[in-house]
A and B are shown apart, each in its own frame.
Chain A
């Protein structure tokens, strides 16, 4: 029975946790990178801005023009942060006085003494420019002064990239740590499910008590449903068992009355025609009882075979018990049961199934044996198995293939004059295979049949 496996909860959980960790790592890396870039930019802008302000503030008008004092220290300081390239431009009254005349101007004019920052491509690099505006009284007239100070930001980029990589490495580390963590979390989350499954699976087939094992709150609906199912199952099973018992009772008791009455009538009747009819009646009652019995046996065997309620038992002891039980039946036909049974044959199985199997085999052997013959019962270890062999001198298989006789409601062609339902051997076969054993039937040399019932030894 292939169960549809839709998905693994654990795998899904691990997958989702890992995906989450990966996203987190990525976001972390990006966030650090962007944050570092912003922070570096803000710091560098502050330095650049104050340098531009210093440059602007140191300008003063003197006789004969404007004095500009470009301090090497200012440029050195700006360049020191990551060895940047420096560009500057000073415009007075719209004319470039010194510096790089082609340095791009800001889009809007900066207000007085508050630097405006912008990033532009210049030469073969991208540069960050701080622009400061002020006005200067030159020769009696106020002239607007614009100071531009630019620097490359390769150091900033490098720092941000390095931090970004470090963050990515950190993210990767988080990701790597997340893997065992996710597995652990998944395991601990699914552990109660496993425990519950184990607790339910460990139960014997007869254990139909409701599940009381501790379960997480999330699993309670499942446990409740399971318990309700177990309850229904218990009800159904007990109903079925009761039904089987009741059915047997209601069929067999009237049959018994009928048979007894017929036998009494047979004893008291002297008329041969009536007696023949009464004999027919008794045979039919026997037939009916036997068939009903085997049908119910068969149902029981099927039911128990599914239960797989195995226990350790001694097959030798069971063979002896069954032989003793059927001894009166064989005695009635003057059939001797010759036992050759090993002291102990430890096996694992269902006593009820084994009893049913052995009884059916022996019952068959006695039923089909002529009077004054011998039925040999041997039970011994053969290889890895315990072997029970029951050999009779009956009419054998009548040339039929053994496997044919094991089929349900199939009887040999040579037994029409003996009552039987044809279910006996099927019961044996099913019982044997349910417990990992086997059942073979073969014709015996010199007449009769030989039935072999095997169970694995413990």
Chain B
């Protein structure tokens, strides 16, 4: 996947000197467009490419520069560097919330905001462009014959506790100390259910391995190094080849991450950004995303069909996740749970 990305060519030289690290950049549309929209995103280019292409077809003469970076770098670029981007799309809900809360976002048109469900937006500053369940993945070899796929955390705890030999060293999850997403998921889990701490204890006893990224976890499961990956982003799990894997949406609750977009206050072309965002939120574009990448469209119906899906609340409560003092306290507890003798 990375290979494909890089095949489109890095165009670092075309960019002004940037103080933040970017992973890739790609230009779409004509070589000398009348207007060029610049998008800063944590999402792989390939996933949004069909949508970008479709939008440019509808708006001839426009160009789009897609810059990809990690969520921390995206936040830094906007909050600290004041980088000139027209649209910022990130899966780090807490950082996006902080950008909006701290006044780095422009108000979006009322009609655009009004079309979104309440849980999928915050004020008129932040809107969700996609939703992804945070799932459990199981290697096919994790279960013996006759064993059922765990449906809840309780089931998972029981499975792990009853088979310590099988799972020792072969359970993986995010390292909340290292990964922003991992910390968010852990904090949300802890907030929603006490089973999280019991699960942490069990995983600690089994010498769970900690990862920085979903991709690595999926790779590890596929390679047979891990039998269980907990709190994996569905997108990555499904986007790859899923043979030999079982993806489980736990039925007690499955967190759902919202990828959110905002127009920064410093945006040079805010109107074009709104235009693109509007298209991105259209049913047509959402269908394109869902078909091409498996990234779930933003739809309220999904939550009615699947009552276990819990969208992570898009509100300033997320700011608490970023509080360093609280974070230290949480991580200390986490470590204490994991390092039980």
A–B contact, 8 Å CB criterion (strictly below):
yes
| Chain A 32-73 near chain B by CB (<8 Å), digits 1 or 0 | 000000000000000000000000000000000011111111
Nearest 6 pairs between A and B by C-beta? A76-B317, A72-B317, A79-B316, A72-B320, A86-B316, A123-B103
Can you report 6 A-B residue pairs in the complex whose CB atoms are below 8 A from each other?
Answer: A72-B191, A72-B318, A72-B320, A75-B319, A75-B320, A83-B315
Interface residues of A, count at CB 8 A: 27
Residues facing A in B154-198 (CB within 8 A) are 187, 191
Residues of A near B326 (CB, < 8 A) are: 68-70, 98
The answer to whether B315 touches A75, judged by C-beta atoms less than 8 angstroms apart, is: yes
Residues of B near A68 (CB, < 8 A) are: 323, 325-326, 329
The answer to whether B315 touches A80, judged by C-beta atoms less than 8 angstroms apart, is: yes
Which of B103, B191, B317, B329 has a CB less than 8 Å from the CB of A75?
Answer: B317
| Chain B 74-107 near chain A by CB (<8 Å), digits 1 or 0 | 0000000000000000000000000011110000
Q: How far is the CA of A76 from the CA of B318 in the complex (A)?
A: 8
**B interface vs A, CB < 8 Å?**
100-103, 122-123, 187, 191, 313, 315-321, 323-326, 329
The answer to whether A73 touches B317, judged by C-beta atoms less than 8 angstroms apart, is: yes
Q: A69-B326, A71-B320, A124-B103 are in contact. List 20 more A-B contacts (CB 8 A).
A: A68-B323, A68-B326, A68-B329, A70-B323, A72-B313, A72-B317, A72-B318, A72-B321, A74-B320, A75-B317, A76-B317, A78-B316, A84-B316, A85-B102, A85-B103, A86-B316, A98-B323, A98-B325, A98-B326, A125-B103
Does A97 reach chain B (CB closer than 8 Å)? yes
Tell me, rounded to whole Å, the shortest Cβ–Cβ distance linking A70 to chain B. Answer: 4
Residue from the set A71, A75, A97, A125 with the largest chain B CB neighbour count within 10 Å: A75
Which chain A residue shows the least CB distance to B313?
A: A76
Q: How far is the CA of A422 from the CA of B324 in the complex (A)?
A: 124
Residue from the set B187, B317, B318 with the largest chain A CB neighbour count within 10 Å: B317
Tell me, rounded to whole Å, the shortest Cβ–Cβ distance linking B123 to chain A. Answer: 4
Does A90 reach chain B (CB closer than 8 Å)? yes
Residues of B near A70 (CB, < 8 A) are: 319-320, 323, 325-326
The answer to whether B325 touches A83, judged by C-beta atoms less than 8 angstroms apart, is: no
Q: How far is the CA of A125 from the CA of B191 in the complex (A)?
A: 31
Does A99 reach chain B (CB closer than 8 Å)? yes
Residues of B near A90 (CB, < 8 A) are: 325
Label chain A's interface by main secondary structure: mixed
Tell me, rounded to whole Å, the shortest Cβ–Cβ distance linking A97 to chain B. Answer: 6
Residue from the set B318, B320, B324 with the largest chain A CB neighbour count within 10 Å: B320
CB-CB under 8 A for A83 and B323, given A68-B329, A75-B315, A75-B316: no
The answer to whether A69 touches B329, judged by C-beta atoms less than 8 angstroms apart, is: yes
Which chain A residue shows the least CB distance to B100?
A: A85
Q: How far is the CA of A66 from the CA of B315 in the complex (A)?
A: 27
Q: How far is the CA of A74 from the CA of B318 in the complex (A)?
A: 10
Q: How far is the CA of A98 from the CA of B324 in the complex (A)?
A: 7
Residues of B near A69 (CB, < 8 A) are: 326, 329
Residue from the set A74, A86, A99 with the largest chain B CB neighbour count within 10 Å: A86
Q: How far is the CA of A450 from the CA of B185 in the complex (A)?
A: 125
Residues of A near B324 (CB, < 8 A) are: 98
Which chain A residue shows the least CB distance to B191?
A: A72
Which chain A residue shows the least CB distance to B118?
A: A83
Residue from the set A70, A87, A97, A99 with the largest chain B CB neighbour count within 10 Å: A70
Residues of B near A125 (CB, < 8 A) are: 103
CB-CB under 8 A for A97 and B317, given A83-B123, A123-B102: no
Tell me, rounded to whole Å, the shortest Cβ–Cβ distance linking B49 to chain A. Answer: 33
Q: How far is the CA of A374 from the CA of B217 in the complex (A)?
A: 145
Residues of B near A67 (CB, < 8 A) are: 325, 329
Residues of A near B329 (CB, < 8 A) are: 67-69
Q: How far is the CA of A80 from the CA of B101 in the complex (A)?
A: 13
The answer to whether B101 touches A86, judged by C-beta atoms less than 8 angstroms apart, is: yes
Which chain B residue shows the least CB distance to A92?
A: B325
Residues of B near A124 (CB, < 8 A) are: 103
The answer to whether B323 touches A79, judged by C-beta atoms less than 8 angstroms apart, is: no
Residues of B near A76 (CB, < 8 A) are: 313, 315-317
Which chain B residue shows the least CB distance to A62?
A: B329
Residues of A near B187 (CB, < 8 A) are: 72
Q: How far is the CA of A80 from the CA of B122 in the complex (A)?
A: 10
The answer to whether B325 touches A79, judged by C-beta atoms less than 8 angstroms apart, is: no
Residues facing B in A89-113 (CB within 8 A) are 90, 97-99
Tell me, rounded to whole Å, the shortest Cβ–Cβ distance linking A39 to chain B. Answer: 23
Residues of B near A72 (CB, < 8 A) are: 187, 191, 313, 317-321
Residues of B near A99 (CB, < 8 A) are: 323
Tell me, rounded to whole Å, the shortest Cβ–Cβ distance linking A272 to chain B. Answer: 127
Which chain B residue shows the least CB distance to A79?
A: B316
Q: How far is the CA of A166 from the CA of B186 in the complex (A)?
A: 46
Tell me, rounded to whole Å, the shortest Cβ–Cβ distance linking A10 to chain B. Answer: 49
Residues of A near B320 (CB, < 8 A) are: 70-72, 74-75
The answer to whether B317 touches A83, judged by C-beta atoms less than 8 angstroms apart, is: no
Residues of A near B313 (CB, < 8 A) are: 72, 76
Tell me, rounded to whole Å, the shortest Cβ–Cβ distance linking B190 to chain A. Answer: 10
Residues of A near B319 (CB, < 8 A) are: 70, 72, 75, 86, 88
Tell me, rounded to whole Å, the shortest Cβ–Cβ distance linking B63 to chain A. Answer: 31
Q: How far is the CA of A152 from the CA of B106 in the complex (A)?
A: 16
Tell me, rounded to whole Å, the shortest Cβ–Cβ distance linking B124 to chain A. Answer: 9
Residues of B near A87 (CB, < 8 A) are: 101
Residues of B near A71 (CB, < 8 A) are: 320
Q: How far is the CA of A78 from the CA of B315 in the complex (A)?
A: 10
Tell me, rounded to whole Å, the shortest Cβ–Cβ distance linking B312 to chain A. Answer: 10
Tell me, rounded to whole Å, the shortest Cβ–Cβ distance linking B41 to chain A. Answer: 24
Tell me, rounded to whole Å, the shortest Cβ–Cβ distance linking A214 to chain B. Answer: 64
Q: How far is the CA of A382 from the CA of B329 in the complex (A)?
A: 120
Which chain B residue shows the least CB distance to A71?
A: B320
Residues of B near A85 (CB, < 8 A) are: 100-103, 316
Which chain B residue shows the least CB distance to A78?
A: B316
Residues of A near B316 (CB, < 8 A) are: 75-76, 78-79, 84-86
The answer to whether B315 touches A79, judged by C-beta atoms less than 8 angstroms apart, is: yes
Which of B103, B191, B317 has a CB less than 8 Å from the CB of A79?
Answer: B317
Which chain B residue shows the least CB distance to A100?
A: B102
Q: How far is the CA of A70 from the CA of B320 in the complex (A)?
A: 5
Residues of B near A75 (CB, < 8 A) are: 315-320
Q: How far is the CA of A79 from the CA of B320 in the complex (A)?
A: 12
Q: How far is the CA of A99 from the CA of B322 in the complex (A)?
A: 9
Residues of A near B100 (CB, < 8 A) are: 85
Q: How far is the CA of A73 from the CA of B313 in the complex (A)?
A: 10
Tell me, rounded to whole Å, the shortest Cβ–Cβ distance linking B114 to chain A. Answer: 13
Tell me, rounded to whole Å, the shortest Cβ–Cβ distance linking A99 to chain B. Answer: 7
Q: How far is the CA of A76 from the CA of B312 in the complex (A)?
A: 12
Tell me, rounded to whole Å, the shortest Cβ–Cβ distance linking B284 to chain A. Answer: 29
Q: How far is the CA of A86 from the CA of B100 in the complex (A)?
A: 10
Q: How far is the CA of A123 from the CA of B321 in the complex (A)?
A: 21
Residues of A near B321 (CB, < 8 A) are: 72
Tell me, rounded to whole Å, the shortest Cβ–Cβ distance linking A86 to chain B. Answer: 4
